[in-house]
Amino acid sequence: MTGGTARRGAEGYEQARTGAAYETDAPRGLIAVEGPDAVSFLHGILTNDIAGLPDGQVCYAAWLTPQGRMLTDMHVLRAAAGAGLDLEPAYGPDIAKRLDLSLFNEELTVTDRSSGTHAITVHGPGALDAAARALEQHGADASQVRGLGVLMHTAVALPGDRVLAYTARWLGVPGVRLLSTEPMIAALANALDGLGVPALSGGAAVALRVEAGMPLFGVDMTTDTIPLEAGIESRAISMSKGCYVGQEVIVRILHRGHGRVARRLVGLIVGGGDPPTAGTAIHAASHDVGAITSAAWSPALERSIALGYVHRDAAEAGTLVRIGSAEGPEATVSQLPLV
Mean pLDDT for 167-190 is 97
- The confidence score (pLDDT) of residue 1 equals 36
pLDDT at residue 43 greater than cutoff 60: yes
DSSP letter at 90 equals G
Mean pLDDT for 125-139 is 97
Digit-coded pLDDT (tens) for 302-322: 999 999 999 999 999 999 999
Query: What structural domains and CATH numbers belong to the chain?
Result: 3-202 (3.30.1360.120), 262-339 (2.40.30.110)
SS3 content of the chain, % helix, strand, coil (to 5): 25, 35, 40
- The confidence score (pLDDT) of residue 4 equals 45
- The confidence score (pLDDT) of residue 3 equals 41
Q: What's the rounded Cα separation, in Å, for the pair 183 and 211?
A: 33
Chain-centroid distance of CA 26 in Å reads 15
Q: Cα–Cα–Cα angle for 176, 177, 182, nearest 5°?
A: 150
Contact residues for 54 (Cβ-Cβ < 8 A; gap 6+): 78
- The confidence score (pLDDT) of residue 232 equals 97
pLDDT at residue 285 greater than cutoff 90: no
Sheet of strand 109-112: strand arrangement = 58-64, 70-79, 82-87, 29-34, 109-112
Other C-beta atoms lying within 10 Å of the C-beta of residue 212: 17
Residues of the chain above pLDDT 70, percent: 97
Other C-beta atoms lying within 10 Å of the C-beta of residue 57: 17
Q: What's the rounded Cα separation, in Å, for the pair 289 and 324?
A: 11
- The confidence score (pLDDT) of residue 5 equals 39
